[in-house]
Amino acid sequence: MTLLIYYLWFSNSFTYYALSLNSNDLAGGDHPLLNFFLMGLVEAPSYLVAIYLVRIFGSRRVLLASTLAAGLFCWATPLATAYHPNLGVAAALAGKFAVTTSYSLVYVYTTEVFPTVVRTIALGSGGVVARFGSMSAPYLGALTAATSYGFSMAVVGAISILAAVAIFPLEELSGTDMPDRPEDIERAKSGNENIVSMTPNTEDDD
């Protein structure tokens, strides 16, 4: 579970910064400042949508859907660009919207699946792994120069879609109490408890 969560941190960070830093290649590179502005503008509604959808479907389902959508839109961007540059911009913006939603939910989902005794360590170490993704994203420009824009976006899409596959073994824990100890998670998986977290009994024997 820890390795899967770490990969989600890496993938979301890589995809997020890959789309942000390589916006100059959109629409033939004719409007780099406008493309970069739109990439930032699309983030604001994504956070609001994430809050709304999580209340209805739970964090895991929304995380899975948004991560998968980000990868598919990355794959669709070069194809749409070949048909019309503006369609390529729209596909890239949709991918940025999806990955921003996914990236914001990684924080939420990490706090749900890790027990209290290691929750802060999980968030901190996840952030460290995410930095490897953000450090790798700028090299995508060199990959594009050596190959093509379509190939580099295919790589980004594959990394994101693989992250969506990694979410399938994980559990939906929205609507349950946060686990306090690792034993609470094992007890919940065994089906002995409906609520994940059990507060230790501190009552006196008398």
- Are the C-beta atoms of residues 127 and 72 closer than 8 Å to each other? no
Q: What is the pLDDT of residue 81?
A: 82
What is the model's pTM?
0.83
Q: What is the pLDDT of residue 150?
A: 86
Confidence of residue 40 (pLDDT cuts 50, 70, 90): confident
Helix 85-113 / helix 59-83 crossing angle, nearest 10 deg? 160
Q: What is the pLDDT of residue 71?
A: 95
Average pLDDT, the chain: 84
CA–CA gap between residue 205 and residue 59 (Å, rounded): 40
Confidence of residue 197 (pLDDT cuts 50, 70, 90): very low
Q: What is the pLDDT of residue 131?
A: 95
Closest CA to 172 of 71, 62, 8: 62
Please write the tens of the pLDDT for every residue from 3-34.
999 999 999 999 999 988 877 766 555 677 88
Among 17-21, 46-50, 82-86, top mean pLDDT goes to 46-50
Q: What mean pLDDT do residues 105-132 have? A: 91
Residue 204 pLDDT more than 60? no
SS3 180: coil
Residue 154 pLDDT more than 80? yes
Confidence of residue 50 (pLDDT cuts 50, 70, 90): very high
Q: What is the pLDDT of residue 27?
A: 55
Residue 67 pLDDT more than 60? yes
Q: What mean pLDDT do residues 147-158 have? A: 90
Contacting residues for 121 by C-beta, under 8 A, at least 6 apart? none
Q: What is the pLDDT of residue 176?
A: 67
Q: What is the pLDDT of residue 206?
A: 44
- How many CA atoms lie within 13 Å of 111's alpha carbon, on the beta-carbon side? 9
Lowest mean pLDDT segment, chosen from 34-38, 119-123, 133-137: 34-38
